[in-house]
Amino acid sequence: MNKYELALIVNAKIEDEERLATVEKVKGYIERFGGTLTKVDEWGKRRLAYEIQKMREGYYYFIQFDANSEAPSGLEETLRIMDNVIRFLCVRQDAA
């Protein structure tokens, strides 16, 4: 099992319930692809470095999980088509 961290930016223009549902859906996808959640860190609403889809702000989440090496590619395919996810980046953490 490898350790991964998913940086996720969610649309800030949606309702709180819909935003939380989006994050819960992402957590469900991680578990569906065989991952085990270890930590979810919510940074809240932050200003984006540059405008994305005419938005200047987004909600930032950092989700750490353990999974096999095939899980991130399946997760990224799913995140790419989610409407409320503005940007994402999944990286493998070093063992050190």
Which residues of the chain have a pLDDT value below 70? 95-96
The pLDDT value recorded for residue 96 is 58
Distance CA 61, CA 50 (A): 18
Element (H, E) at 64: strand 55-67
| C-beta separation of 53 from 41 below 8 A | no
The pLDDT value recorded for residue 1 is 87
| C-beta separation of 29 from 65 below 8 A | no
The pLDDT value recorded for residue 91 is 95
Alpha-carbon radius of gyration of the chain: 13
Altogether, the residues listed in the chain come to a count of: 96
